[in-house]
Amino acid sequence: MIQTACPLDCWDACGITVDPSRPTSLVSTPTHPMDNGALCALLNKHIHETPRITTPRIDAREVSMAEALDAVADALRADTSLLWRGSGHLGVMQSVTDLLMERLGGTLTSGSLCDSAGAAGVTAGRGLNRPLPPEQIARSEVVVVWGRNLTVTQKHLIPHIEGKRLIVIDPVRTPIAKRAEIHLQIKPRTDFYLAILLARFSIMEDGEDHAWLEKFGSEWEEFYEFTREFRIKALLQHMGLSLDQMGDMLRLIQTHKTVFLVGIPLQHYTQGHAITWAIDSLAAVLGLFGREGCGVSYMGNSRQGLANPFEVSVPRVPIVTTPFERFETVIVQGGNPAGSMPDSQRVEAALKRVKNLIYFGLYANETSALSRIIIPAQNFLEKEDIRLSYGHQYVTPMHKAIVAEYGISEYDFVVEIVRRLEQKPIESEAYYLSTWLDQCGMEDGQRVLPDYVRLPYADGFGEEGEEEFVFIDEYEDEEEPMAFRRFRKPKEVPFDGHYWLLTPKSLHALNTQFARKTEAYLSPKCGFAEGERIRLYNEQGALELTVRLSEDVRSDCVLVYGSTPGVNRLTPALLSEEGEGACYGEAKVQIERVHHG
């Protein structure tokens, strides 16, 4: 039996046991901390049913791997080259290709399509972005699921929250919201205001944690003044929430051990950093950091405390708005920019202008369809790696379970290209693997991040963990210019036919991998019929989909899974104000019926 871990971009990073003679029947590792007895359908069904790319190609012609690698090496002799890496496989060895770009004077990307706006807000307040250990979540009494869709995106956490009092803040009545004591079906893009008002009310009711604030957040009175700049009535109306709902939530979170589980879409906005920062500031008012059974779980820094042997100093371009057209050669590794980046029409046009587009991946997708050279990758069962996690502190070695019949690993890819271009060789694979692993600590028989602490922030904040928490003290939003600040008249916005486009994760896909649906979920109140064909459109682009009626979606929203082909024709290529993050949430669409015949 071989031990490995799930490579997919998922909070759980499950441990997996493989019987090499039956590599399609993967089982959960019972000693792994994220075990709940089973792996999800993505790992025991979809990953095996999805056809792999088996043959290298140049200009659609099938070639040998050696020929394809020669062509890649030739293409990399160009003056300008870019490596665009997605999150198709989360093992640390994916980043070995950074060494190639360093040797060739190439360019890498910065920021992220995923979490970086919110991460900027987290580090602004706390200094470091540590994952909250699942053990603390298990010890809590109240769980606030703040824009995270646990039953889809983090199934293995469910046993940890069994029997707890649940509050869910989500524009959609998700399965977890249906189980919750309180569901705030908030209007999208208003979580900043919710956090600010909750903090304000909490202090008004003397619900703040004085002892904690004296020690770790002495600027809290200035923060209170900041929260008082915002208008209560106008904001409640804007968020679509009542004073009673706020009161009910406060009563629970002020008097119990509480954790906030903060998700990704609530920070996919230009002001994304301010939203996570405001949520952390609320948590600080309640003294939730460094306390048993309390804390805020956001997507943590999975490399917290680890020195990265692949760290390089090269030019970078933002991953959200990558100017592909500026490069003669582009390698896309483990990702699908033409499907997953915002404003995909712009992305496709830019990719078409790249002389040598090289796709290095497992599956065919929108990006491979545009590529001149295709290099099949090996999958996680076929190579050595190490899995870190943004959802917990555990580090899991990923051992090779089977011998690959085709494809090449990222490590071998670099070795082959470096040799062809007569560059300085890289170290051995074993050297890099042990450089990562040797830094880790052990805790109860499990490998953990080097500076893992049982109770994050118990001694303080900042890089050294000796400083106070920094409260948010500014908010400037071009979209809602001061309308909700004190002494200004709030802007009345009746529904104007522009729906918020929600693009959450699907149970059957992992981003653009596996089963991709083509449906739009709408409230019956919107006046469309089940099965009807509709066209979503805005200034970016348009997309035709089939209507599925759902009582669970707000009537000012339309839900289209992020895995739906073409959905990013509708999302804007905006860069968040901090953190170089993506702003998928800023998309609004109009809807019309499609008449056939």
Residues in the site for ligand MGD, rule: CB under 6 A? 9-11, 86-89, 113-114, 146-149, 152-153, 169-172, 174, 186, 188-189, 191, 263-266, 333-337, 339-340, 360-363, 365, 377, 379, 502-507, 509-513, 562, 567-568, 571, 584-585
In whole angstroms, the minimum distance from the beta carbon of 222 to ligand MGD comes to: 26
Nearer to ligand SF4, 382 or 416 (CB): 382
Q: Which of 573, 2, 66 is nearest to 324 (CA)?
A: 573
Q: Give the one entry of ligand MGD, ligand SF4, Mo ion, none that residue 12 binds, where binding means its C-beta sits below a cut-off of 5 to 8 angstroms depending on kind.
A: ligand SF4
| Using rule CB under 5 A, residue 567 touches Mo ion | no
User: Which tokens hold the place of 393?
Assistant: 């502190």
Query: Distance between terminal CA atoms of the chain?
Result: 59
Positive/negative CA dihedral, 451, 452, 458, 461: positive
In whole angstroms, the minimum distance from the beta carbon of 459 to ligand MGD comes to: 29
User: Which tokens hold the place of 470?
Assistant: 């920094």
In whole angstroms, the minimum distance from the beta carbon of 103 to Mo ion comes to: 29
H-helix or E-strand spanning residue 513? strand 513-514
Q: Give the one entry of ligand MGD, Mo ion, ligand SF4, none that residue 585 binds, where binding means its C-beta sits below a cut-off of 5 to 8 angstroms depending on kind.
A: ligand MGD
Nearer to Mo ion, 172 or 252 (CB): 172
In whole angstroms, the minimum distance from the beta carbon of 47 to ligand MGD comes to: 10
Q: Which residue is nearest to ligand MGD (CB)?
A: 88
In whole angstroms, the minimum distance from the beta carbon of 451 to ligand SF4 comes to: 24
Nearer to Mo ion, 114 or 358 (CB): 114
Nearer to ligand MGD, 213 or 559 (CB): 559
Nearer to Mo ion, 114 or 320 (CB): 114
How far apart CA 518 and CA 543 sit, in angstroms, is: 10
User: Which tokens hold the place of 89?
Assistant: 């496989």
Q: Which residues of 298-314 are buried (b: 16+ CB within 10 A; e: fewer)?
A: bbbbbebbbeebbeeee
Burial environment of residue 169 by CB neighbours within 10 A (0 to 12, 13 to 18, 19 or more)? buried
How far apart CA 584 and CA 589 sit, in angstroms, is: 12
In whole angstroms, the minimum distance from the beta carbon of 527 to ligand SF4 comes to: 37
Confirm if 41 and 50 have CB atoms less than 8 A apart: no
Q: Give the one entry of ligand SF4, Mo ion, ligand MGD, none that residue 263 binds, where binding means its C-beta sits below a cut-off of 5 to 8 angstroms depending on kind.
A: ligand MGD
Nearer to ligand SF4, 44 or 55 (CB): 44
Query: Residues 18, 68, 71, 114: which binds Mo ion (CB under 5 A)?
Result: 114
Which 8-state DSSP code applies to residue 423?
P
Helix (H, G, I), strand (E, B) or coil at 18: strand
Residues making contact with ligand SF4 (CB under 6 A): 6, 8, 10, 12-14, 39-40, 42-43, 155-156
Q: Give the one entry of Mo ion, ligand MGD, ligand SF4, none that residue 43 binds, where binding means its C-beta sits below a cut-off of 5 to 8 angstroms depending on kind.
A: ligand SF4
In whole angstroms, the minimum distance from the beta carbon of 299 to Mo ion comes to: 8
Which 8-state DSSP code applies to residue 324?
G
Q: Which of 234, 129, 240, 225 is nearest to 191 (CA)?
A: 240
In whole angstroms, the minimum distance from the beta carbon of 153 to ligand MGD comes to: 4
Q: What is the secondary structure of 251-268 as a DSSP string?
A: HHHHHS-EEEEE-SGGG-
Helices (H), 210-327: 210-216, 220-227, 232-239, 243-255, 272-285
